[in-house]
Amino acid sequence: MKAVVLAAGLGTRMRPLTFTKPKFLLPVAGRPALDHTFETMKAAGVNEIGIVVGFGKEQIMERYGDGSRFGIKLEYLHQERPLGTANAVSVAEKFVGNEDFIVMNGDTLVDLESMKSLLRVYGERKSEKGFGGVMGTIEVDEPEQFGIVIMRGEKVEKVVEKPKKSKSRLANAGLYVFTPRIFDAIRKTRKSKRGEYELTDSIQLLISWGLSVYTAPLSLWTDIGRPWDLLVANEYFLRNIRGEIRGRVEVGANVGENVYVGENSLIRSGSYIIGPVYIGRNCDIGPNCFIRPSTTIGDHVRIGNAVEIKNSIIMDHTHVGHLSYVGDSVIGMNCNLGAGTTIANLRLDGRPVKMEVGGRVISSGRRKLGTIIADNVRTGINCTINVGVKIGPDAAIGPGTVIYRDVPPNTMVYIKPSIRRKKWKS
């Protein structure tokens, strides 16, 4: 069976991280998100994959090539304009031919058991008359945040986008098996209020034609649609990391279980690391650092003396200066955090942290959430960055500055203190 991965979106809700790269290449547990998708599909026996690309396609093609390095066969399918998920699937019609096929959103991450569950239900139902497809679903606590699947018996009755009230808690997970009839439905699908062709509308057409769409329960699922979702996905995938030391650990450093240290990385004396933690290649950590669970550190990263990092993602070629604190945050590539940079991650009132996403300020649902910093950002010494703040690429923060609001790309923010002098006798 072939698979189609939808990886053409602009990732606007994930900004500022996606100003410089597609969200499908953002790191999760030390590897780009798409790596995990391809690995899961290969393990499930799916080796021929068409990937729909658009924004950032050059970066995706450069990393994956023909897929042979990952043990799969890749074909690139180009979506000329971002006209919605149904339109994205439509460009794969020639690729899949007359066969049934898998569709997976590129920002959806599942484990192998979830993929097997989807294929198991497909195997049980595919020979039934009027079979139309299978949708992966997951039970959620906040149905108003998702596309919710309404059932009638064993079959899908309809999919409702972000209902205000719903008895169902089954969310559409963005993982499907379709027959070629989906292309007939896509051709009949009209634009939504957003001006896009929605795949869920095409599924609704299949159902209206009398075709049966079933659901498959997923065990582990997350999507990386919003910045803090990256932290959730990172935490999920770090749970399965195997501890291994490929670098060097000095005497006096304490490296716990489930910590991976890459080639040529150095853990200096006095550093204390509690897994699960991933540290990439050619890193210099410490001395006297405290690296706490669910942290991913990329390649060529320098973590200075007496730094504390907790539940965060630090991308390649970034330097975190001595005496700094980074908690529940994402730091992009080629950043330099000056000595004493402190990132707040908890509101004084303990309420969930809010963040501006897609032009709206919304609750993250997280009691602890720090900052999202894009690539090539510099901070001066003793900077403080408040909870829920985003800093765009190529920005700079002057020494001693306290940041309460988002900083746009290519912007410098600094304070100009007034200094007074007078004569003094000791």
Largest CA distance in the chain: 97
User: 138 with 171: CB under 8 angstroms?
Assistant: yes
- b/e per residue 259-275 (b: at least 16 CB within 10 A): bbbbeebbbbebbbbbb
Q: How far apart are CA 320 and CA 291, in angstroms?
A: 12
Residue positions annotated with a catalytic role: 322
Please list the residues that pair with 342 across neighbouring strands: 325, 384
DSSP state of 191: P
Q: Of all residues in the chain, what percent are helix, strand and coil, respectively (each to 5)?
A: 20, 30, 45
- Taken as a whole, the chain contains a residue count of 426
Q: Can you give 234-286 as a three-state secondary structure string?
A: HHHHHCCCCCEECCEECCCCEECCCEEECCCCEECCCCEECCCEEECCCCEEC
Here the tokens at position 107 are 């920002």
